[in-house]
Amino acid sequence: MDLAPADTRANAFGRLGSQPIMLTAATVVILIGSITSMAIWRTVTGAAPEPDRMVTSRQLQARTAQFSEQLTEKTKGLEATQQESIDQLQLVQDQLQTVRRLLAAQQADTRRLSEQVANLTEAVDGLRQSHASTQATESETPSVTRHGPVRHRFHASRRGRSRS
């Protein structure tokens, strides 16, 4: 019986598949070898990722804490600035109310003074009309004024001088 080489290979894989203990043992040996080689490599090179990760995480925590403190300080600064702005706004509003009250008082004084000026204007107009009516009644009645004879005398005296 001659067996062909292809049959031998198929038969070998078939035997491995039929014996799971052998396959499991080979897998365990490979795993133990790889773990051992990683441990040897770490001890030789001194590179252990766990301490590096711990250092990195501590640095990240420190940075996070520092950022948080900075954020807190900036927030407090913004709150202070906002409070100052609110105080200034309140002061401006108070000043605006004061200006409005003063303006209203000034407008009331202006109205009162305008009314007084109007009353005085009416009184002056009344006096002018009264004076004009008294002058009109005086001019209608013939009366000798003081200046009439003086003018006449002045003209007469001038004529007399020029003749002489």
Mean pLDDT for the chain? Answer: 80
Task: Tell me the whole-structure pTM to 2 decimals.
Answer: 0.39
Residue at 100 is within a domain: yes
pLDDT band at 40 (very low <50, low <70, confident <90, very high): confident
Cβ–Cβ under 8 Å, residues 42 and 48 = yes
What value does the mean pLDDT take over residues 77-103? 95
pLDDT at 12: 54
Higher pLDDT, 17 or 128: 128
Domain that holds residue 111: 78-119
Residue at 31 is within a domain: yes
Residue at 158 is within a domain: no
Domain count, the chain: 2
Residue at 99 is within a domain: yes
pLDDT at 10: 53
Q: Residue 53 and residue 36: Cα distance in Å, rounded?
A: 22
Residue at 140 is within a domain: no
pLDDT band at 164 (very low <50, low <70, confident <90, very high): very low
Q: Is 81 left (phi over 0), alpha (psi -120 to 50) or beta?
A: alpha
Residue at 113 is within a domain: yes
Residue at 23 is within a domain: yes
Give the residue from 112, 133, 131, 134 showing the smallest Cα distance to 123: 131
Residue at 5 is within a domain: no
